[in-house]
Chain A
Amino acid sequence: AQKITQTQPGMFVQEKEAVTLDCTYDTSDPSYGLFWYKQPSSGEMIFLIYQGSYDQQNATEGRYSLNFQKARKSANLVISASQLGDSAMYFCAMREARMDSNYQLIWGAGTKLIIKP
């Protein structure tokens, strides 16, 4: 079974609108971390935001926020006031804390976001 599911292969959004990128996860580990990375067409992977499973507040970093709904196992990325430079692939990833996970990040398939002017 998929541990990280990103159901939106691609999205088109008008500039300045808010964007929500979906991510659901599956784990039985009570301690885990969730990450979002951005990969623009230039290819680099840029860390955006992190949410720990025990964090009480939703993580925020500038225009990025993570809508963490633990009971639903959902960790959606919200980008406020989208900009043309937000066009990129976005990856959701999870790390489980159990010893046999070897700290590997489990990656989703990604969502390609295109911001229209």
Chain B
Amino acid sequence: DAGVIQSPRHEVTEMGQEVTLRCKPISGHDYLFWYRQTMMRGLELLIYFNNNVPIDDSGMPEDRFSAKMPNASFSTLKIQPSEPRDSAVYFCASSFLRPDTQYFGPGTRLTVL
């Protein structure tokens, strides 16, 4: 079975550019989570969806960040405009029924110059 798929795996961009990260959850999973991991702050939950509906976006750092889940098999996290402090590894995770046993994708390493 395919796990959580994220693309791209690496992204290097310049400050001010728009960045779009993509995620395909495990088929049948009804919860989807976006996390950010940095050395300084560890793993931070940005937003999570249940049945494609955003439930809690309190972790989204600023209005520059937005996330969508147009259907059960696809989600995007967009940063516009990007800043160097957004450099991090962004993980997508999904789970089924219970929102706690989460299965993570490989992550997208974002570098904003």
A interface list, Cβ under 8 A from B: 33, 35, 37, 42-47, 50, 91, 95, 102-105, 107, 109-110
**A-B pairs with beta carbons under 8 A, tally:** 44
Which residues of chain A are near B102, meaning CB under 8 Å? 47, 105
Which residues of chain A are near B42, meaning CB under 8 Å? 107, 109-110
Which residues of chain B are near A33, meaning CB under 8 Å? 100
Closest 7 CB pairs of A and B: A45-B104, A103-B99, A95-B100, A102-B56, A44-B106, A107-B43, A33-B100
B55 interfacial by beta-carbon distance below 8 Å: yes
B interface list, Cβ under 8 A from A: 31, 42-43, 45, 48, 55-56, 58, 89, 91, 93, 99-107, 109
Interface SS, B side = strand
